Amino acid sequence: MKAKEAYSSEIELECSCVNISEFKWDYLMEGAKKACGKKIRSMIKKQIPELYDSLCLDLSNPYEANCVRTETHLIYVHSGIEYFFKIKN
């Protein structure tokens, strides 16, 4: 999936790196490419406002530069934790 399509899609939080195995993490990260954390943060604010508020995403996030995307997921990094958002078609 192209970046433009990914950033205009609906997303849902699937999991974070805290509650998955290393095998699952490797699987979800396969083919990862750099992503725009600012755009993902904006999508979270619009589509999952309760998560946006609970993670205090209105504050500076030095990890945001580490965000990536795959064919099926947008991965937002906050406080060293990767949040895997499934891209819904």
pLDDT surpassing 80 at residue 89: no
Which residue ranges make up each domain of the chain? Answer: 3-88
CB neighbourhood size of 76 (10 A): 30
pLDDT on residue 1: 67
Task: Name the pTM for this structure.
Answer: 0.92
Measured CA to CA, the distance from residue 28 to residue 3 in angstroms comes to 17
pLDDT interval class at 23 (50, 70, 90): very high
Rounded distance between C-alpha atoms, residue 14 and residue 83, angstroms: 8
Rounded-to-integer distance, Cα 89 and Cα 80, Å:
28
